[in-house]
Structure 1
Amino acid sequence: MNVRTSAHSARFVSGSTMRHVVVMAGTGAIGLMAVFAVDLANLFYISLLGDASVAAAVGFAGTVTFFHVAISIGATIGVSATVARLLGAGQHAKARQVASASLIWMGLVTIVLSAATLALLNPILNALGARGETRELARTFLYITGPTYPLLAIGMCTAAIMRSTGDARRAMMVTLTAAVITAVLDPILIFGLRLGLTGAAVSNVVARIALAVVGLYGVARVNHLVGRPRIGRSWRDVKPVLKVALPAVLTNLATPVASAYVTHAMARFGPAAVAGQATIDRISPVAFALIYALTGAVGPIISQNLGAGRADRIRETVRNSLAFVLLTVAVAWLVLAFAQNSLIRAFSAHGVTATILSTFCSWLVASYVFVGCLFVANATFNNLDRPLLSTLFNWGRATVGTLPFVAVGIRHGPIGVLVGQAAGSAIFGTMAMLVAFLVVRRLPMEDCARLAQRHANEPTSSAVSVPGAAAGNTIAPRVQ
């Protein structure tokens, strides 16, 4: 075992928790912002083609991809929570075994899911409301990018593993590398070779290959948390991960389900409305990269302090995370409100598309306070053995907090759809945060230590594999 790596693994059990939140969220956000800025630039290039059907096709393709991203994020939550908890308890060898087994299982599961998605692509797009040329363009895009979903999942998982050790800088480099590649290839393929939407799809494929390769190198060669796979023991090693990952996957699936319903509602108002929704979906991750990074940032901090029996630091982390959300949304709201006219011109938006974009920048950005509350609450529940609470609140938001509100809003046009979605988020984000505070308030230090000990004794293989034998984001929701 690498002594230096082990000695510095549990770095979150001391020092300022606010500093840990800011550093982890900040470094994570830089990587996410780079990826999503390129994704936004991708849509910008496509908008220059002057065809609303192409922009709408990107929106439909993004909704399908969102399901795969949500599943991968749920799985990485389980990996991150388990590995960080073991590192916090000083069990580096077990953490390494869990990380290795998790990557194997994630690869196998996403291969099956990708094949199923491609086989059912036509009925999926029909259910979303895609029609005519827009449907054909979305199908072409997904046939090119769909087979690389496993690479996207592996890249996300390796970044989560590195964040679990506190190596936020290297986790950031995973996404930055892919972002740089995409930034270079997009204009060349879309305009230089005149491939249009197909060029954007090819660029995504190359970026996902880079995600997986750079991520695997970081966890295997640098952090020494992945070694030669031991297939016979992989199920026993991955069982502790599944206890958190399965509820987390169910939780995360709620968001794309709600998004699919909103996209279906927008489709009633034509390609221009779907294009407006697609533009918002690419502006918001850039504007709120710090918010999207919070789930991956807060989780390891809570888990390491759980492993160390520090209930006081867990409570402090949750409080500081909420303060961080409020400040981040206030700044982003101010910037977007002043920049809205420039954004409308940049994306050649007019009519319904421009109205949607203006309403979002002027008022609806405020609803991200409640989205941030939900993210912090999810990280708290998942890392304190309350994953079912995450499932409850996320599915509540996706069903009771979306369907009736959007159904009422749809009577008032596409803006009503967006307002209805924001109202549901406000209700469930507030409730989730209140329950999260209740959970950490009732976590005495002795109970925290017992909970950590129970997880430290989870059955995992005791053998240590040889470092570096493996070949070689968290990416927030909505990556193409």
Structure 2
Amino acid sequence: MPITATAGGVGRARFVSGSLMRHVCVMAGTGAIGLIAVFAVDLINLFYISLLGEKEIAAAVGFAGVVGFFHASLCIGLTIGIAAVVSRTVGAGRGEDARRIATSSLVLMTAVSVVAGTGTAFFLHPALHALGAQGETARLAHRYLSVTVHTLPLLGIGMATSALLRSIGDARRSMTVTLGGAFVTAVLDPILIFGFGMGLDGAAVSAVVSRIVLAAIGLHGVIVRHRMLGRFEPSRLGSDARALGTVAAPAVLTNLATPVGAAFVTHSVAQFGPSAVAGAATIDRLTPVAFGLVYALSGAVGPILAQNLGAGQFRRVQEGLRDSLLFMVVSVAVAWLVLALGQGVLIRAFSADGQAAQLISRFCSWLAASFFFAGGLFVANASFNNLGHPLLSTAFNWGRATLGTIPFAWWGSHYGAAGVLIGQAVGSSIFGLLAVIVAFRLAAKLARQEVPAGTAPALDAPVAPTSPQAATAPAAAP
């Protein structure tokens, strides 16, 4: 009988029994609370900035957000690998291996994020110029990023510890990690931006403090509450890195595709002026708040599917995918309705006018519906990453970011800034639909390979040994 992880350490899997829909709702719901809190603070941050009445500052936040999106996508890709491998190892009942891999994962996350974060500082000027930032807007964006890029390791550690907590089913503490950082930002932003008159510099300082708190809470949950970290073994770091990299490397490539597409869209919108960029920035920060449940599915579905894969319960994997998609459809429908009804309030709240107001209205009325397909892609990618097909995630995300974005956004740019967003929505919807179809076909093939109760597939062997086309699941440990 499976036992769950407790405060005493890494136990066996909790997702291999019980209602899958309940697991999806709990994991996505708690994950969404944390995500929405983080993104809501970004939205509130932009709200405070908009009160300063300078479109250049709001546009600078938009350009800086694209660069930050690259960093966050890198960390998210790494956490996907961490959650997938640790969850699968826990599902197979290999607690000691899971602890060692958890320790190695934090070391690797720190090393990669130090290089990526500090390395970016040397290329800020050309990066912002390539995005279309000019003059005062470019100068403000550079000043903001010069402070925040060096704290990427803190963000990475916070995200990695949150993923480790999800991998053992502790959704509540995983949520607490992000909530803590978000709370600090929500409190400090108005104090620093207005109370001390620091403006955009105050927002940057607030982000740094928030990341410190994020990392501290996550490490406390992993080290003190669950004792998830084993002794660091340098001799095993290489093999652990290869095991994690089997999922994480394609996942990083997959996640980097999204900011690449966003960068092209930002460049396309920039030609229509700071008001258009400010409107697009508002949409970028509004979207993850409105669709927080959908965004959370990417992290919530992974451990559920991975634990059942590790336990050899392939039919539950198929059912988990189905329940996740049903949950996504309901979530998007509710969010779209709220946006459509509340668009006037949003436009007034962010003091949007001209092109900014037009873009926000168009998104709330119609373009939000594209999240039915974007959400499908999130769920499909989670299944690909955790069922031994991470390269499919890479292919679909890069397909959406290139073939599904560049030609459509370029075509739309001939009809104004709104045309850019319409083109992007159409292209991404095509790839989202295709990804869902492929994910269901793979899950159905896997379900036909159900193993007898009480046995589990070898983690370094093909998931479906009778099918030569079936991809192998990444090894959780050497």
TM-score, length of structure 1 as denominator length: 0.93
Q: Show CA shifts across 1:165-214 (max 9, x none).
A: 00000000001111111111000000000000000010000000111111
Q: Hey, what's the Cα distance between the residues in 2 that align with 1:179 and 1:276?
A: 23
Contact (CA 8 Å) 1:236, 1:459: kept in 2 or not? no
Task: Name the residue aligned to 2:469.
Answer: none
Contact (CA 8 Å) 1:85, 1:456: kept in 2 or not? no
How much does 1:234 deviate? 1.7
Q: State whether structure 2 residue 5 is matched by structure 1 residue 22.
A: no
Task: Name the residue aligned to 2:451.
Answer: 446
Task: Name the residue aligned to 2:104.
Answer: 101
Q: Hey, what's the Cα distance between the residues in 2 that align with 1:457 and 1:197?
A: 44
Contact (CA 8 Å) 1:101, 1:229: kept in 2 or not? yes
Which residue type is aligned with residue 439 of structure 1?
A: L
User: Partner of 1:79: helix, strand, or coil?
Assistant: helix
Task: Name the residue aligned to 2:46.
Answer: 43
Which residue type is aligned with residue 450 of structure 1?
A: P
1:256 is matched with which residue: 246, 259, 271? 259
User: Partner of 1:194: helix, strand, or coil?
Assistant: coil
Q: Hey, what's the Cα distance between the residues in 2 that align with 1:377 and 1:198?
A: 39
Q: Hey, what's the Cα distance between the residues in 1 that align with 2:6 and 2:283?
A: 47
Which residue type is aligned with residue 427 of structure 1?
A: I
Task: Name the residue aligned to 1:477.
Answer: none
Task: Name the residue aligned to 1:282.
Answer: 285
How much does 1:222 deviate? 1.0
Between 189-198 and 447-456, the greater mean CA deviation after superposition:
447-456
Task: Name the residue aligned to 2:168.
Answer: 165
Q: State whether structure 2 residue 89 is matched by structure 1 residue 82.
A: no
Task: Name the residue aligned to 2:464.
Answer: none
Between 224-233 and 19-28, the greater mean CA deviation after superposition:
224-233
Q: Specify which structure has the bigger relative contact order, considering alpha-carbon pairs within 8 angstroms and separated by 6 or more residues.
A: 1
Q: Give the alignment of 1:69-148 within 5 angstroms.
A: 69-148=72-151
Q: Hey, what's the Cα distance between the residues in 2 that align with 1:114 and 1:350?
A: 35
Contact (CA 8 Å) 2:255, 2:397: kept in 1 or not? yes
**Change in CA separation of 1:456 and 1:223 when aligned onto 2, cut-off 3 Å:** farther
How much does 1:38 deviate? 1.1
Contact (CA 8 Å) 2:9, 2:227: kept in 1 or not? no
Q: Hey, what's the Cα distance between the residues in 2 that align with 1:250 and 1:456?
A: 18
Between 6-15 and 64-73, the greater mean CA deviation after superposition:
6-15
Which residue type is aligned with residue 445 of structure 1?
A: E
Which residue type is aligned with residue 130 of structure 2?
A: A
**Change in CA separation of 1:28 and 1:453 when aligned onto 2, cut-off 3 Å:** same
User: Partner of 1:401: helix, strand, or coil?
Assistant: coil
How much does 1:414 deviate? 0.5
Contact (CA 8 Å) 1:89, 1:456: kept in 2 or not? no
Q: Give the alignment of 1:333-352 within 5 angstroms.
A: 333-352=336-355
Q: Show CA shifts across 1:13-37 (max 9, x none).
A: 0000000000000000001111111
User: Partner of 1:134: helix, strand, or coil?
Assistant: helix
Q: Hey, what's the Cα distance between the residues in 1 that align with 2:26 and 2:165?
A: 14
Task: Name the residue aligned to 2:180.
Answer: 177
How much does 1:453 deviate? 6.2
How much does 1:229 deviate? 2.4
1:408 is matched with which residue: 406, 411, 414? 411
- Give aligned pairs, total: 460
Q: Give the alignment of 1:301-320 within 5 angstroms.
A: 301-320=304-323
Q: Hey, what's the Cα distance between the residues in 2 that align with 1:73 and 1:5?
A: 27
Which residue type is aligned with residue 47 of structure 1?
A: S
Q: Hey, what's the Cα distance between the residues in 1 that align with 2:445 and 2:404?
A: 27
Contact (CA 8 Å) 2:10, 2:228: kept in 1 or not? no
**Change in CA separation of 1:403 and 1:7 when aligned onto 2, cut-off 3 Å:** closer
Taking only aligned residues, the RMSD between alpha carbons, in angstroms, comes to 1.7
How much does 1:460 deviate? 3.8
Q: Show CA shifts across 1:280-304 (max 9, x none).
A: 0111111011001001000000000
How much does 1:5 deviate? 4.7
**Change in CA separation of 1:433 and 1:5 when aligned onto 2, cut-off 3 Å:** farther
Between 447-456 and 406-415, the greater mean CA deviation after superposition:
447-456
Identical residues among aligned pairs (%): 58
Q: Hey, what's the Cα distance between the residues in 1 that align with 2:339 and 2:421?
A: 17
| Structure 1 unaligned residues grouped into runs of 5+ | 462-480
Task: Name the residue aligned to 2:204.
Answer: 201
Task: Name the residue aligned to 2:329.
Answer: 326
Contact (CA 8 Å) 2:459, 2:476: kept in 1 or not? no
Contact (CA 8 Å) 1:155, 1:211: kept in 2 or not? yes
Task: Name the residue aligned to 1:215.
Answer: 218
Task: Name the residue aligned to 1:155.
Answer: 158
Task: Name the residue aligned to 1:365.
Answer: 368
How much does 1:4 deviate? 6.9
Q: Hey, what's the Cα distance between the residues in 2 that align with 1:172 and 1:459?
A: 25
Which residue type is aligned with residue 296 of structure 2?
A: A
Q: Give the alignment of 1:221-232 within 5 angstroms.
A: 221-232=224-235
How much does 1:459 deviate? 7.5
**Change in CA separation of 1:5 and 1:445 when aligned onto 2, cut-off 3 Å:** farther
**Change in CA separation of 1:187 and 1:457 when aligned onto 2, cut-off 3 Å:** closer
Q: Hey, what's the Cα distance between the residues in 2 that align with 1:238 and 1:171?
A: 23
Contact (CA 8 Å) 1:6, 1:90: kept in 2 or not? no
Q: Hey, what's the Cα distance between the residues in 1 that align with 2:185 and 2:95?
A: 35
1:296 is matched with which residue: 284, 288, 299? 299
How much does 1:227 deviate? 3.6
Task: Name the residue aligned to 2:466.
Answer: none
How much does 1:225 deviate? 1.2
Q: Hey, what's the Cα distance between the residues in 2 that align with 1:218 and 1:445?
A: 35
